Amino acid sequence: MSQNTDVLVGREVEMKSLNQIVMSKEAEFVVVYGRRRVGKTFLVNSFFNDHYDFKLTGLAKKSKREQLANFTAALNRYGGGRKYTKPRTWYEAFDKLRDLLESKKTKGKRVVFIDELPWMDSRGGNLISALEHFWNDWAGTQSNILLIVCGSATSWITKKILKNKGGLHNRITQKIYLHPFTLAECKEYIQSRGLAMEDKEIAECYMIMGGIPFYLKNLRRGASLSQNVDEMFFAEKGRLADEFDALYASLFDNSEIYIKVVEVLSKKNKGMTREEILEASHLNNNGHFSKILNDLTNCDFIRCYKGYGDKKRKSIYQLTDPFTLFYYKFIRKNAPSDKPFWQYQLGTHQHDTWAGLAFEQLCLNHHRQIEQALGIAGISTKVYSWNNQPNATEKAQIDLIIKRADKVVNVCEMKFYDGDFTMKKRDADDIERRVRAFRSAEHVRMAIHPVLVTTYGLSDNTYSHIFQNVVVLKDLFR
């Protein structure tokens, strides 16, 4: 999605959902949520072209009195000349909103958009109770009412709205979660802003920032990717130098606990069990810890998976958010400076090691595109990672396994490379060793097809035959 004023990139599924909601013959209560900077507000404003019967944006870190004053200003803005006095309570505020909406002569849905709803919820303010009453007593009975609430505070949205156990229980008619952009959407967005970048640069950009529209919006035309990264993250007063803390604070209550979990996971590339995270973080093993893991998973920061084969194996939690991984690898360790940092990293061992790991995460986030390139998009699949048991005589791991319903297992080797990848004897021996260990440990009776996922291609030599298929970067842009 482009943050340009007149360009919308991607989000076809979400736009289709909104169109169906507008055409509905019933009252609709819609929640649009997702992480900070992912483009929630822009999506809604683009669809409705700012044509609302009432729109309000909550105020960050303001009192109930100030929020109610802001609500009053919005009532007067949309009141068509009617003047509303400041309400004393949220019940009175929503009663005035009902009065405003009843006076409207709108054809079709009367659209109410409340953005940053979590910011409006102050302690003891009864915001949610008043919203419940507004919907249950009146709005939910009006077939032409469309109420959209939006917010980045995912833990708040989940607890207070989506999983509300009170008057809003099962009242939400639609929920729209905005995921970060895919590679293809990143490319379309970048091109829409007139930036000249090759696919490999776009991939590395994704490996640093993830598919977050606002981060991509900060790319400056005429500068290289490395120059942009320095300006955004490593320069004095860089445009996104303070983004990490702001990101987690905007999403989660008690964000320092969430940060503690992702910090622990950042030190283990292949992930950790729940017990390992607890031991390393010194957090308590309780329901709140389960909520933290679920919130991080639901916000695309971590993934939860089980190893191949044994269903009794414990779940593994792995940090997969590109920006968070980049933060712990580089941003956190390097103070802002007037000298370029990232430009000097290019080609170093530290950069190449990070790039290899980040590319693996990119591939995991685009496994559907890999399946499409393999011609198996229509076949039922399951995606795994695999590690030998701790007591195994020979250590082996495979980062991406695609188990197919047609009795084939694809074992993926991922290489981020400047040119065609050239297999060496030691590479071939290592792949054969890991495939052999995998087959033996898991008693695999299906055909195993090694697959290379790489930037440009595979050089033909004595050892290249080990791969049954080669998937290149352009395939991941589908």
Q: What is the mean pLDDT of residues 285-293?
A: 92
Does residue 33 have a pLDDT over 50?
yes
pLDDT tens figures, 379-404:
999 998 888 877 777 789 999 999 99
Q: Residues 12-17: contacts with CB within 8 Å, 24+ apart? A: 14/43, 14/176, 14/178, 15/43, 15/47, 17/174, 17/176
Task: Provide the residue ranges of all domains of the chain, joining segments of one domain with +.
Answer: 12-177, 183-237+336-349, 245-329, 366-477
Distance, in Å, from the CA atom of 13 to the CA atom of 311, rounded to the nearest integer, reads 33
Backbone torsions φ then ψ of 453, nearest 5 degrees? -110, 115
pLDDT at position 159: 86
pLDDT at position 310: 60
Confidence of residue 2 (pLDDT cuts 50, 70, 90): very low
Distance, in Å, from the CA atom of 325 to the CA atom of 248, rounded to the nearest integer, reads 14
pLDDT at position 412: 97
What's the whole-number average pLDDT of the chain?
93
Q: What is the mean pLDDT of residues 279-289?
A: 94
Confidence of residue 152 (pLDDT cuts 50, 70, 90): confident
pLDDT tens figures, 314-341:
789 999 999 999 999 999 999 888 889 9
Q: Residues 118-122: contacts with CB within 8 Å, 24+ apart? A: 118/58, 118/151, 118/152, 118/153, 118/156, 118/157, 118/160, 119/58, 119/59, 119/60, 119/61, 119/62, 119/67, 119/151, 119/153, 120/58, 120/59, 120/67, 121/156, 121/160, 122/63, 122/64, 122/67
pLDDT at position 299: 87
Residue with tokens 């944006």: 57
Q: What is the mean pLDDT of residues 290-294?
A: 93
Tokens of 153: 């505070």
pLDDT at position 306: 78
pLDDT at position 19: 96
pLDDT at position 3: 41
pLDDT at position 4: 42
Q: What is the mean pLDDT of residues 400-413?
A: 96
In terms of CATH architecture, what is 245-329?
Answer: Orthogonal Bundle (1.10)
| pTM listed for this prediction | 0.90
Topology of 12-177 in CATH?
Answer: Rossmann fold (3.40.50)
Does residue 5 have a pLDDT over 60?
no
- Contact between 133 and 126 under an 8 Å Cβ cutoff? The reply is no
Q: What is the mean pLDDT of residues 216-238?
A: 95
pLDDT tens figures, 61-116:
899 999 999 999 999 999 988 999 999 999 999 999 999 999 998 889 999 999 99
Which of 184-198, 272-286, 303-317, 423-437 bottoms out in mean pLDDT, i.e. has the lowest? 303-317
- Assess if CATH 1.20.58.220 describes domain 366-477: no
- Contact between 181 and 170 under an 8 Å Cβ cutoff? The reply is no
pLDDT at position 388: 83
Share of the chain above pLDDT 70, in %: 98
pLDDT at position 372: 97
Q: Which is higher by pLDDT, 391 or 287?
A: 287
